[in-house]
Amino acid sequence: MSLSTRSEIDATVIAVANDTVSGWDIDLPNGITIDTRLMEDLAFESIDVVQFAVSIEQAVGRKGLPFEKLFMKDGDYVDDVALSEVSSFLCGELGVRS
């Protein structure tokens, strides 16, 4: 899949998040948006983050993306990540202008 715009990446990230939580009992009044947070809004745990990262790699057709840049800061895991941050990370890694 060739993603060439920020909006295509945003849509892909939202779609992967929706797929990841499809069987979960999550009540988000506006559904999953680019501002949705993985931990606070979707109740992701560490295994969910790993599965989400693998699904993102599959969706964009790139293995080995350096997700530690996104999920770690100064050697510690970050408290939360918004889908917009995932999208910005992918724009940078895939060479797409945001």
Q: What is the per-residue burial (b if ≥16 Cβ within 10 Å, else e) of 19-31?
A: ebbeeeeeeeeee
Confidence at residue 70, expressed as pLDDT on a 0 to 100 scale: 94
Domain residues of the chain, as ranges? Answer: 6-94
Alpha helices (H) in 1-98, listed in sequence order: 6-20, 46-60, 68-71, 83-94
Residues 80-97: tens digit of each pLDDT = 999 999 999 999 999 997
Report angle CA 55, 2, 70 to the nearest 5 degrees: 45
Residues 12-41: tens digit of each pLDDT = 999 999 999 999 988 888 899 999 999 999
Question: What is the pLDDT confidence band of residue 98, given thresholds at 50, 70 and 90?
Answer: low
Q: What pTM does this model have? A: 0.92
Residues 43-92: tens digit of each pLDDT = 999 899 999 999 999 999 999 999 999 999 998 888 999 999 999 999 99
Question: What is the pLDDT confidence band of residue 4, given thresholds at 50, 70 and 90?
Answer: confident
CATH number for the domain whose boundaries are 6-94? 1.10.1200
